[in-house]
Amino acid sequence: MDNGRISVRYARALFQLAQEQGCEEAVYSGLMRFAHNYLLAISQFNEVLANPIVAREEKVKLMEMSVGEPLHDTLKQFIAFVADQKRENKMFFIAMKYMEMYRAKHSILSTQVTTATELPEATYDHIKAFVKQTFDAEAEMDVRIDPSLIGGFILDIENNRMDASVAGQLNALKNRLKQQ
């Protein structure tokens, strides 16, 4: 069975359980922290979770620690279940699928804002309002600072990019001048 089918099945089961127990958001928050920490140390995670010599209990501890606090009981039990089924190396994919399901149900779009400098909170509120009006969804924002943009911002919403940066405008101008 391939990774995609496994992760979808496990994520769907967790999502249904979380809905029944009324803890969808707590599980979502925990899995967000897990995915973030996993990506920070991907090679170490893969090495430990895929290693058959590492004890089940150590793998469970690693996954629980990467979720951090608060660790909801449902998620704690699910992590133990995944370890019992020897699917620890699929946990990141399961987390990603769960988050995808949660966002779809709650009309949340993963949004990344890249700016040259920190923006005022009011500007982020305007971006959120734009996303709400344009896509009829809430924006879950990941803000990144990239001084090479010079000014302005780049807004990535799912598979859509809006480049309102000075660097982007300069590149567009440069490309137009090359074509002439």
Q: What is the pLDDT of residues 106-128, one digit of tens each?
A: 999 999 999 989 989 998 999 89
Alpha helix (H) ranges present in 22-151? 24-40, 42-49, 56-67, 73-84, 91-105, 121-135
Q: Largest Cα–Cα distance in the chain?
A: 65
114 and 98 in a common domain: no
In this prediction, residues 39-63 reach a mean pLDDT of 90
Is 30 in the same domain as 91? yes
- Mean pLDDT over 46-51 rounds to 88
Structural domain boundaries, residue 114: 108-179
Give the phi and the psi of residue 160 in degrees, each rounded to 5.
Answer: -115, 140
Nearest 10 degrees: Cα torsion 68, 52, 99, 64: -10
pLDDT of residue 138: 94
Domain ends where: 89, 104, 119? 104
- Under the banding of pLDDT at 50, 70 and 90, the label for residue 3 is low
CB atoms < 10 A from the CB of 159, how many?
5
pLDDT of residue 1: 47
Predicted pLDDT of residue 41: 87
Q: What pTM was estimated for this model as a whole? A: 0.82
Do 25 and 112 fall into the same domain? no
Q: What is the DSSP letter of 66?
A: H
Where is pLDDT greater, at 141 or 172? 141
83 with 11, same domain: the answer is yes
Look at the block and give the residue holding tokens 């971006």: 127
| 38 DSSP β-pair partners | none
* Mean pLDDT score across all residues of the chain: 91
- Over residues 131-145, mean pLDDT: 92
**What residues contact residue 25 under an 8 Å CB cut-off, 6+ apart?**
102
